[in-house]
Structure 1
């Protein structure tokens, strides 16, 4: 076995004075306790009143008037929500009241009679889907009713007595270039050197893999281990592997956990590059609270996922994950329910020792571990500050693989460690975990909602008994209130129709993994999500078949609605709501087609725009003033005066020095000029980094990824207030319709291949 490269550090325990201070709750925490108590009282009293009012039997006109009045009151009250937290709570409850009224009407007035089994059975299935989504709606409102926003807490006192930190970077099959960036950034973290140890946990070079019966696989594992050991030695970090690949990521981290001794652990995925201030922003929380086991921070991504890439929305609107990291997690934090997300988090060793390390009964070891520690009375903190930059899956099939794993893990937790029955959790924590798990049942209700209008459009089945007056009095107010509520709570984080699009795109393929987990909850196996993939040419994803078929069937449903409208004038009051429903489903399916017809995507490193003065120094003493226009992990774009063009064609390697600012130190590294072109009177220069030594590697990682201010600015640029439902629908169509020309040209061939039982 090849020995590991290591760095020796001295670990000192926290001093007793700090520990004693940690046990005294601050006035700040007491204030939150009083506010939480008042929130409980307000929720219970208001909910009881609104439930009773929602159940009152009134006529259509009165019902419509009540709904309009309630929404108007919520609109007025919502304008004060930023100043008064109870105004936010009442606004949410008023809008939820409209949905309560809809649900009671739905239960009492729209189900087919039980003796009409042909309509009753699918009608009950649709109602069950609505009921499950309604439970999620209620638990979600509880979670996000009063989100807690925190600021970083820096460590205090003598640095000699700060907690020691082990940085774990688990890896499986990532390329050395990607790992070098993450490791170099970890080396540049601002923290006392004798308190910081960095470990690369390599599961791709285990003894088991070196002994593989396949000679080529064994040779590849040996080469990987040697390459990564050399990388770790160059960067002065510790390489660590293990005998066997057991229990996936949780097993890998646990192996390191039992061989190290840091007071705290920073967990980073292999493609999650930390900022230099990640520990300065988080360690102070642990000094304040001796019962704190976790500080979780958001996952910020520098590349678009396949939906964002194919629709061109990455820089135009908030990403799909932002609602979770900047709305839901702060809501969970209010109830001490924020959980570990697998990376970008700091955890306390003493807490993990209490449960024997990271849990591994499910393939979502992160949430499972948090559940166990919350049940033992430990506390968590969520800091909504992006302190890492990571990568998302680039192809649709890798995206589905990732989401299938998350779905399976959450269903495993729901079945094996259901929070409702988990001893030790508080009532709010039970509701928080339940809400998180229920979301991952979208694969059940989303296809049902999408396809239900076809029952009437194609077969004349009445599984949802409704007419035009009821549609106007109950359904439209419910939809409007739900859209208003979403905009009120998540307006800067989520735009209309995109939640539905993401759920639709996942549902058909994720459902197979979900059903398999229900049948055998202990069987799912952790699968690593591929990153850094490419799409060689435009074309349908291998997973496109269900989306093509659904779109064609919904188009047929629209045609049948038009036919029924003309043929059966007496049924038009029922046909119109079905046609509207079918039409919205069809628009959503067109969005799905635009996504699964993937655009060519050449693998490259993501570039970030900036404007920083810098200097190029040459070996002969020549000096050129330049401006850094953009930067990536592998190189930099420079704006230069055209008169320097000839000098830059020389083959030597200049030294680039990026000027210091108030918040960032100067950075120096070697570069190699690779591209020269004129752009609007400015010479645009592309240069790749050519680091001369370890210090250059660390400095460039710090320059590119070290400061989270750039990530905050990028997120803020995208977080404009969401449009209204109709504005969101228009935006959705502007992203989808331009793509449909290419889709329609490729569609006949794809349908032909599907009919021959081949992938499209």
Structure 2
């Protein structure tokens, strides 16, 4: 360990405080009282009646009439859901009823006969995929039936008695410039100075790396340690490393955990920049509940992921992660099932000591740690307020690497610490964790759903026995009910087809990691997700091959459907549903192709639009009133009256920018260096990079750019317009995909030549 000067380092054994803590208040709540037994009996009877009604055999047209009536009733009830919790519950149950009817019809009326193995085997495979996704559907409904909407909880009482907080920022290979921003923002967190200690946990400068057999790698590690030590000294935070890189991120954090003493621990990824109010919004929860081990907050990202970037959707619709952080996590919170997501979270030291620190048996140490603590009776809270700003993977291959690790970790947890059998969890918690883990089996069902229509289109196999009347009476009501339910529950968080697109894009490559984990669940190792990458020119990703092949197969399937429709008029009632299915799959495949054909992406710091008055003070003392139009971690965009052009164009000056205080933000002063001046709409548009004069400038710069979460709330609200209808969603999806296809088609012949020569595109 290499601490900064004056830093306090305490080596403390684990499990000492935990022995003094009494069992948590909810420990005895698991004992079944007569009331709870009667409640479960009533629920089981109600569920039985619900299933019996859903399975009631009626004719196809009567079934269609029932489904239409139920969906209409749900539509009316849904309008009262914001005011009445029971209206929300009934709406969900009514729409689920339609899906149940479809599933029972699917089970009893569409499977091929057992003695027809050529059709039966692929038919049962498709049904198994539907069944697994149906189980996920049911557990997900339970999770989000009644989400909790929490508000921040500020600490109360004398600040001298507030809990002390250790801020851990684990790092592996991130660049000093990125770490400087995160560390500077952590330093200016609004909390008593004697209660706040910031630590950089550097796994890139360990003794093991300094002694590497490769002299170049050893020299790079030494240089990194020296650079980061100097950075930490300048910012007055503690630099900490360890002898060996053991147990990845969990091991790094545990090494620091044993050598620090804060009552609470705030975990921040190296690229997760906190707001000044992150502790003021969360510490109060720990004061109110001595049995609380976790307050988790959302991961808010300032840059588009590869899907958003290549389709141009980042500022036009909700991001993929928003459904999880603003719909699912609040639902989990209702059942005391919200779990640790690795960063942007505050945890209680006493709880962690009880389980020996952060768990490290899987590559998702965050969820694993939460599972262990929930099973011991500790509670968690989820606060749906963006209090950090982070970075997402920029390239498709880094995106897949990240999702592969998440998939491996969740499968490891499901196999090694299955929540259905883990002692100490409530029934609700078992369902919550099971639902979370089941989602990560999407790599099984999504390709099956996508490619199944090819069985009939290309080979004439009848794996899903259906005709046009059945399609109209069972499938269409089910699709509309599912779309309505998704819009009702997640309308402002997720738009039609985008869940399917993300799952499809991950499935082929994630499946390899998933299958390897199923075979050897203890083998996966933690791999850091690469950030700050760039794409030098437009072109197919190295991982594009399966998506190109899939698109061509589905195009052939559509052509085959057209051929069958014209040649076999007696089979048209069966061909039409297959053609519709194949068309939707083809549209999804085109979306995937538009994503893996990556647009040029020059690495840069993301800019955010602002509108703040400021004063630019030149070297001669001249003050110029102007407006700050946008900011990034590296600089600002300024709008200036053209009459000042000559003054601000003088070379070799480092003017001082003072950004005026507002009701919610303090004034900020920092040095800047002007590098661009141009006319834009009658004003001077000035680009200026930050040129901090001292530590205080660095801290104020971080506070100005990242300190206030109000800007993040405004940005999220701007994207959260109500989701379009199912057909509107299809149209929006098409408008994002089709304009990209010209470039894709031009590059496709070259990609095909490389595929045929067994090279990556």
TM exceeding 0.5: yes
Write the distance in 1 (CA, Å) between the matches of 2:755 and 2:235.
51
Q: Distance in 2 between matches of 1:39 and 1:711?
A: 42
Preserved CA contact (<8 Å) 1:47 1:93 = no
Which residue of the partner structure matches residue 681 of structure 1?
682
Cα separation, 2, equivalents of 1:6 and 1:297: 32
Taking structure 1 as reference, are residues 660 and 528 closer, same or farther at Cα in structure 2, changes over 3 Å only? same
1:729 aligned residue? 730
Q: Which residue of 1 aligns with 2:207?
A: 207
Q: CA deviation at 1:619?
A: 2.4
C-alpha separation between the residues in 1 aligned to 2:394 and 2:42? Answer: 45
Aligned to 1:465: 465
* Cα distance, 1:202–1:6 mapped onto 2, change above 3 Å: farther
Q: Does 1:713 align with 2:694?
A: no
DSSP 3-state at the match of 2:102: helix
Q: Is the aligned partner of 1:616 residue 2:616?
A: yes
CA distance in 2, matches of 1:621, 1:109: 84
CA distance in 2, matches of 1:701, 1:37: 55
Q: Distance between the aligned counterparts of 1:689 and 1:676, measured in 2?
A: 16
Instruction: Indicate conservation of the 8 Å contact 1:182/1:270, yes or no.
Output: yes
- How much has 1:243 moved relative to structure 2? 0.3
Distance 1:292 1:399 in 2: 33
CA 1:188/1:37 → structure 2, altered by over 3 Å: closer, same or farther?
Answer: farther
- The answer for the alignment partner of 2:747 in structure 1 is 746
- In 2, are the aligned partners of 1:22 and 1:290 still within 8 Å (CA)? no
The 1:200–1:3 alpha-carbon spacing in structure 2 relative to 1, beyond 3 Å, is closer
Alpha-carbon deviation of 1:493? 0.1
The separation in 2 between residues aligned to 1:158 and 1:21, in whole angstroms, is 25
Output the CA distance in 2 between the equivalents of 1:247 and 1:535.
32
Q: Which residue of 2 aligns with 1:72?
A: 72
Q: Residue 490 and residue 39 in structure 1: after superposition, are their counterparts in 2 closer, same or farther (change >3 A)?
A: farther
* Equivalenced residues, count: 747
Instruction: Say whether the 8 Å CA contact 1:5–1:229 is kept in structure 2.
Output: no
Q: Secondary structure at the match of 2:657?
A: strand
Contact 2:4-2:236 within 8 A present in 1 as well:
no
CA contact (8 A) 1:262 1:349 kept: yes
Partners of 2:327 and 2:6 in 1: CA distance? 40
Cα RMSD, aligned residues only: 2.1
| Partner of residue 16, structure 2 | none
Partner residue, 1:14: none
Maintained 8 Å contact 1:355/1:373:
yes
Looking at structure 1, the residues matched to 254 and 697 of structure 2 have their Cα atoms a distance apart, in angstroms, of 33
Distance (whole Å) between structure 2 residues aligned to residue 38 and residue 690 of structure 1: 68
Q: CA deviation at 1:663?
A: 1.1
User: What is aligned with 2:586?
Assistant: 586
Unaligned runs of 5+ in 2: 12-19
Cα distance in 2 between the residues matched to 1:4 and 1:462: 70
CA distance in 2, matches of 1:451, 1:293: 45
Aligned equivalent of 1:219: 219
Deviation at 1:598, TM superposition (A): 0.2
Which residue of the partner structure matches residue 294 of structure 1?
A: 294
The 1:57/1:3 distance shift into structure 2, 3 A limit, reads closer
Q: Which residue of 2 aligns with 1:258?
A: 258
Paired residue for 1:15?
Answer: none
Note the alpha carbon deviations across 1:662-710, whole angstroms, 9 max, x for none: 1111100000001000001000000000101000000010010000000
Q: Tell me by how many angstroms 1:7 deviates.
A: 2.9
Equivalent residue number for residue 16 of structure 1: none
Aligned residue in 2 for 1:176: 176
CA offset at residue 49 of structure 1? 2.8
2-structure distance, mates of 1:297, 1:423: 27
Indicate how the Cα distance of structure 1 residues 646 and 39 shifts in structure 2: closer, same or farther if over 3 A, else same: farther
Structure 2 CA distance for aligned equivalents of residues 406 and 325 of structure 1: 16
**For residue 63 of structure 1, what is the aligned residue in structure 2?**
63
| Separation of aligned partners in 1, 2:63 and 2:700 | 65
Higher alpha-carbon deviation: 712-721 or 648-657: 648-657
Per the alignment, do residues 433 and 3 of structure 1 end up closer, same or farther by CA in structure 2, a change over 3 Å counting? Answer: closer
- CA shift, 1:618, in A, is 1.7
Alpha carbons 2:362, 2:409 under 8 Å: kept: yes
Deviations 1:487-510 (A, max 9, x none): 000000000000000000000000
1:551-583 alpha-carbon deviations (Å, 9 max, x no partner):
000000000000000111111100000000000
Partner SS for 1:301? coil
Q: Supply the distance in 2 between the matched residues of 1:71 and 1:37 (Cα, whole angstroms).
A: 33
How has the CA–CA distance of structure 1 residues 6 and 343 changed in structure 2, closer, same or farther, with 3 Å as cutoff?
farther
Q: Does the aligned pair in 1 maintain the 2:618–2:648 contact within 8 Å? A: no
- Confirm or deny: 8 A CA contact 1:5 1:239 kept in the other structure: no
2:405 pairs with 1:405 = yes
Residue 355 of structure 2 corresponds to: 355
Rounded to whole Å, the distance in 2 between the matches of 1:515 and 1:10 is: 43
Instruction: Say if 2:585 is the partner of 1:560.
Output: no
**TM-score, normalised to structure 2's length?**
0.96
- Separation in 2, partners of 1:619, 1:311: 45
Aligned to 2:646: 646
1:254-294 superposed Cα distances (whole Å, 9 cap, x missing partner): 00001111000000000000000000000000000000000
Cα-to-partner distance string for 1:408-459 (whole Å, 9 max, x where unaligned)? 0000000000000000000000000000000000000000000000000000
Indicate the residue corresponding to 2:15 in structure 1.
none
What's the secondary structure of 2:320's corresponding residue? coil
Whole-Å Cα distance in 1 between the matches of residues 247 and 649 of structure 2? 53
Residue equivalent to 2:331: 331
Q: CA deviation at 1:47?
A: 3.2
* 2:4 and 2:233 in contact (8 A); partners too: no
CA distance in 1, matches of 2:216, 2:561: 60
Q: Is the alpha carbon distance of 1:608 and 1:43 closer, same or farther for their aligned partners in structure 2, counting shifts above 3 Å? A: farther
Mapping of 1:181-196 within 5 angstroms? Answer: 181-196=181-196
Give the secondary-structure state (helix, strand or coil) at the position aligned to 2:639. strand
CA apart distance, 1:50 = 2.0
CA contact (8 A) 1:150 1:384 kept: yes
User: 2:130 corresponds to which residue?
Assistant: 130
**SS in structure 1 opposite 2:393?**
coil
Between the aligned partners of 1:439 and 1:36, the Cα distance in structure 2 is: 29
TM-score (norm 1): 0.96
For residues 441 and 149 of structure 1, the distance between their equivalents in structure 2, rounded to whole angstroms, comes to: 29
Does the 8 Å contact 1:5/1:237 carry over to 2?
no
CA distance in 2, matches of 1:648, 1:21: 66
Q: What residue in structure 2 maps to residue 511 of structure 1?
A: 511
CA contact (8 A) 2:2 2:241 kept: no
1:37-58 C-alpha deviation (Å, 9 max, x unpaired): 9998996565333211011110
Change in 2 beyond 3 A, CA 1:457/1:157: same
Residues 363 and 634 of structure 1, relative CA distance in 2, 3 Å threshold:
same
Per-residue displacement from partner, 1:318-368 (whole Å, max 9, x unpaired)? 000000000000000000000000000000000000000000000000000
Which residue in 2 is equivalent to 1:695? 696
Distance in 1, Cα, partners of 2:21 & 2:243: 41
| Contact 1:21-1:288 at 8 Å conserved across structures | no
- Residues 229-256 of structure 1: CA distance to partner in whole angstroms, max 9, x if unpaired? 0000000000000000000000000000
Pairing of 1:87-126 with structure 2 (within 5 A): 87-126=87-126
CA distance in 1, matches of 2:189, 2:163: 15
